[in-house]
């Protein structure tokens, strides 16, 4: 461990929010990251939810080497062969029809920025509906349509964004109704409010198929169908932000496949690059044609770069050859069963939810009041890290204390067993420490 380097991280880096560890990190392989003391830690967030095929998969390493032998970057107007191949692979092997055309960018924020621009140009409108608890990124358009956190202090957002109540089956907006009816009633209310407020420029509805930063909220299927209908009735485009749900994490190729609802635009990012900055905005040939005719531009220094495209191709091929979608379903069911079993034994585990290997565990003070237990969340997360397990906790007061658990799809049963044993021990010790401090 190099203390001077640890100090340098504090002295020379701008703090960018979120949780930060005191340690520095040196390596990442499979489901494990290694810190500057040489300690191995199970990475149950797949980095920033990106490394679905495991850290530093040989296929990714080889794709980067191939880019080194051929080309890393080019003039944006020179489309590299690898980019054409990635567009074709997505259209022919992955995307639900009529989605067919891709724009390759770097981050999820950018893919949503481009999606919103296409929707505005295509419809001629500017009004955007987004869900409570959603997170679409940090750029102007994407952050204006994000409601999970971090809205305050930066002045006005992009005008024309309206909020729809998010479906929450653990805490339904209308508790006297079933969670599904409550979600639909919330949507109806939100749409009524929007219709009253609209200045007549509807453009898009944007939603994550699983509202992740908002606490791993899985909308009912009827909610998604109603959203599709609401978009069509208003001449709006439906955008699915599949940053976390695309390419197998939820045990299906996409959220769209899970819900049986096809959006007009889909954005994919984290899970396409497997850890490298690669994202795509995807739409139909008809919408692409319309946007093009209206002068669509999204010209950046790294639009259509060959290096990330080669990596994206390697990621997609690995998901197929290693049958990782089936694996996500199988390992997701295994992990879920273990978490359900933990819930039986720990009063503080209020809810276990999610799809495939994108799971949420909500901690509460007691199951009756469902009050989020932030202190327990923080203590347990820290103790898990000490014991060798990294997980991500949402600890915004308004969003509950929810662990987001999303290991690589390559995770083994043994790694899941180790993680569960750590979680169990951390929960027992943390509950105990809290009750001792209260006594």
Ligand X SMILES: Cc1ncc(COP(=O)(O)O)c(C=O)c1O
Structural element, H or E, at residue 258? helix 255-259
Residue among 109 and 430 whose Cβ is closer to ligand X = 109
Residue 244 bears catalytic tag: yes
Residue 241 bears catalytic tag: yes
**Distance of closest approach, residue 308 Cβ to ligand X, in angstroms:** 12
Residue among 360 and 379 whose Cβ is closer to ligand X = 360
Return the percent helix, strand and coil in the chain, to nearest 5.
Answer: 45, 20, 40
Residue 135 bears catalytic tag: yes
The residue behind tokens 């969003």 is 399
**Distance of closest approach, residue 43 Cβ to ligand X, in angstroms:** 16
**Distance of closest approach, residue 227 Cβ to ligand X, in angstroms:** 16
Out of 101, 120, 270, 383, the active site residue is 270
User: Which among 152, 151, 184 has a CA at the least distance from the CA of 166?
Assistant: 184
Residue among 143 and 365 whose Cβ is closer to ligand X = 143
Residue 338 bears catalytic tag: no
Residue 425 bears catalytic tag: no
Out of 110, 288, 404, 415, the active site residue is 404
Residue among 359 and 364 whose Cβ is closer to ligand X = 359
Out of 127, 135, 252, 336, the active site residue is 135
Residue 233 bears catalytic tag: no
Contacts 24+ apart (CB under 8 A), 80-85: 80/304, 80/305, 80/306, 80/309, 81/306, 82/306, 82/309, 82/310, 82/313, 83/304, 83/305, 83/306, 83/309, 85/309, 85/313
**CA–CA distance, 315 with 335 (Å, rounded to integer):** 23
**Distance of closest approach, residue 274 Cβ to ligand X, in angstroms:** 13
**CA–CA distance, 25 with 10 (Å, rounded to integer):** 14
**Distance of closest approach, residue 373 Cβ to ligand X, in angstroms:** 24
Q: Starting at the earlier edge strand, list the strands of the sheet with 392-394.
A: 349-355, 358-363, 401-405, 392-394
Out of 244, 288, 329, 403, the active site residue is 244
> What letter would DSSP give residue 372?
B
Contact residues for ligand X (CB under 6 A)?
107-109, 112, 135-137, 208, 212-213, 241, 243-244, 269
Active site residues: 135, 208, 241, 244, 270, 404
């Amino acid at each position: 461990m190099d203390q001077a380097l640890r100090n340098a991280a504090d002295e020379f880096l701008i703090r960018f929010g979120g949780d930060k560890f005191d340690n520095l990190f040196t390596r990442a392989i499979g489901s494990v990251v290694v810190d500057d003391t040489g300690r191995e830690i199970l990475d149950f967030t797949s980095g920033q939810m990106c490394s679905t095929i495991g850290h530093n998969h040989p296929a990714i390493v080889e794709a980067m080497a191939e880019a080194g032998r051929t080309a890393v970057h080019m003039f944006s107007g020179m489309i590299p062969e690898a980019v054409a191949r990635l567009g074709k692979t997505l259209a022919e092997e992955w995307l639900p029809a009529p989605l067919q055309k891709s724009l390759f960018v770097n981050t999820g924020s950018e893919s949503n920025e481009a999606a919103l621009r296409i929707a505005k140009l295509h419809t001629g409108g500017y009004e955007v509906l987004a869900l409570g608890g959603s997170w679409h990124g940090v750029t102007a358009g994407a952050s204006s349509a994000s409601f999970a956190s971090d809205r305050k202090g930066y002045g006005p957002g992009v005008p024309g964004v309206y909020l729809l109540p998010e479906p929450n089956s653990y805490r339904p907006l209308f508790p006297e109704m079933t969670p599904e009816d409550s979600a639909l009633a919330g949507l109806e209310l939100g749409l009524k409010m929007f219709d009253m407020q609209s200045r007549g420029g509807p453009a898009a509805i944007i939603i994550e198929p699983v509202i992740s930063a908002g606490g791993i909220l899985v909308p009912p299927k009827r909610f998604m169908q109603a959203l599709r209908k609401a978009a069509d009735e208003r001449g709006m485009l439906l955008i699915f932000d599949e940053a976390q749900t695309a390419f197998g994490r939820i045990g299906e190729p996409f959220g769209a496949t899970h819900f049986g609802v096809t959006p007009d635009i889909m954005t994919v990012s984290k899970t396409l690059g497997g850890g490298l900055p690669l994202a795509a905005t995807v739409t139909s040939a008809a919408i692409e044609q319309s946007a093009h005719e209206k002068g669509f531009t999204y010209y950046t220094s790294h639009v259509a770069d060959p290096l990330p495209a080669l990596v994206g191709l390697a990621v997609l091929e690995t998901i197929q050859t290693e049958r990782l979608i089936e694996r996500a379903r199988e390992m997701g069911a295994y992990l879920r069963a273990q978490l359900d079993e933990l819930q039986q034994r720990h009063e503080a585990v209020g809810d276990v939810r999610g799809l495939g290997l994108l799971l949420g565990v909500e901690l509460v003070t007691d199951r009756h009041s469902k009050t989020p237990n932030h202190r327990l969340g923080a203590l347990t997360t820290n103790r898990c890290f000490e014991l060798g397990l990294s997980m991500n906790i949402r600890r915004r007061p308004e969003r509950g204390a929810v662990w987001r658990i999303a290991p690589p799809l390559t995770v083994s049963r043994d790694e899941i067993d180790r993680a569960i044993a750590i979680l169990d021990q951390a929960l027992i010790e943390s509950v105990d420490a809290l009750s001792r401090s209260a006594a």
